[in-house]
Chains A and B, each alone.
Chain A
């Protein structure tokens, strides 16, 4: 039996080989078939004998040979095969060579021309290596539906001419942004499920963090990437305190901070420091991480430096003026004692957030601060109608009961 850390290493080798095969073969489906053959040979061989001294090199050799046979069989001329860089140059490590192919795979799966949720699904299936069933469950759809989505997206990649490349410098910022957006979407799927009963789907948060770690190893020196990793580590550090014993949602201000993962908070902080010292233009993920770090620093809710958080949200709005960011800004203003400014920010986003239940929850809190209980009740009632999440429903119902006494 292989130990779990060996499993993780093998999974990583495996996905690098997949990235390599997709480049050589030119499409996902045929490459995935070949990849399965390679891994099957590995499992059969390695079970009988010992693990080879260099598993990655072993897998690579088998994959390269299979790909060469495939290309020859398909009568894809020698000219094309020569154009393909089938193996590393003599001064290039195999590790580095295959890391580039994994990067190509990640950038392609996260291409901005693909629907954001479908990017997540494709990344989960192809890069993270979840099964079809696991990916379908993550999105609360049937296996058949998810399979159709994956078929369609792979078709789009092929037909629309999405190149299998690491983006050049001109497009890098935008393309990397798309990868980060995908990772964060995955994290949020885990952090706050929108349907069903589970508010925290830990495995997806864990996968998002793993993916960001991997990306940072493959593609070091990008401050926003380190920023998003920091942000996720800091948010996830609260996972043990977010739910009560009975599975109810616990607000940040009511959480038992002794249950926050201090080691993870420290890791997040160190990463953020490092990101800021790269002196790249600050981006939305570094700023959000900085906000999360302020919460993490506060020994209790009352110790929170809300003034600093307000300033950070003002920066964040320059990079991301979505109404949800403005909503969080309004809440921060309220907690820093600027209630009227908070209310005027809320009025700016009322139209756009009509279907967004957290807006009404926040508005209720603001009305309570203004001692307008009856308005707060109306807001909570609107929120209750809009959320499908059982734990949030339970939370709102409890608040309403408290107010109606």
Chain B
């Protein structure tokens, strides 16, 4: 079953990290990516640029509205994702708990709707 792992953390707090701390976290993410590739479950995964680079698009009544920023103001912001092919929810949750951001942010684990055909 495919699951998406939505990685959330508070950007303001993240911005206060030192270069050293950031490098350490990136190393751990590289290691995680290596591991899930070796385990044969990795389908996709990327970090995202901060929400101040985001644009939110809505079309209503034929009108296109572009807003500067994320879709809503939230306490934690989406910072990256993985898509993994896991045996079941327990396997997915085990991977989620190994993500560095799980220690100070939140990882939302969501099944991907499989469409046949």
Contacts and interface: CB of A to CB of B under 8 A. Distances in A.
B89 A162 contact: yes
A75 to B, nearest CB: 15
Interface stretch (B11-19, B63-71, B72-80, B90-98): B90-98
B100 interface: no
A161 B89 contact: yes
B-side interface mostly? mixed
Given A113-B93, A171-B94, A160 B87 contact: no
A111 B93 CA distance: 12
B94 A161 contact: no
- With most chain B CB atoms within 10 A of its CB, the pick from A111, A113, A160, A163 is A160
A129 interface: no
B111 A163 contact: no
Nearest to A113: B89
A111 B90 CA distance: 9
A112 B92 CA distance: 13
A112 B93 CA distance: 10
Contacts of B90: 162-163, 167, 171, 175
B44 interface: no
Contacts of B93: 112-113
A1 interface: no
B1 interface: yes
A82 interface: no
A60 B90 CA distance: 30
Nearest to B110: A160
B88 A162 contact: yes
A159 interface: yes
A-side interface mostly? loop
A163 B94 contact: no
Interface residues of A, number: 13
Contacts, number: 27
A251 B109 CA distance: 45
B76 to A, nearest CB: 20
A373 to B, nearest CB: 43
Contacts of A111: 89
Contacts of B86: 161
A160 B94 contact: no
Contacts of A113: 89, 93
A165 B94 CA distance: 16
B41 to A, nearest CB: 13
A274 B37 CA distance: 45
A165 B1 CA distance: 16
Contacts of B89: 111, 113, 160-163
Contacts of A161: 1, 3, 86, 88-89, 92, 111
Interface in B43-84: none
Contacts of A162: 88-90
A163 B111 CA distance: 13
A161 B113 CA distance: 11
A161 to B, nearest CB: 5
22 contacts: A113-B89, A113-B93, A159-B111, A160-B89, A160-B111, A161-B1, A161-B3, A161-B86, A161-B88, A161-B89, A161-B92, A161-B111, A162-B88, A162-B89, A162-B90, A163-B87, A163-B89, A163-B90, A165-B88, A170-B94, A171-B90, A171-B94
Interface of A: 111-113, 159-163, 165, 167, 170-171, 175
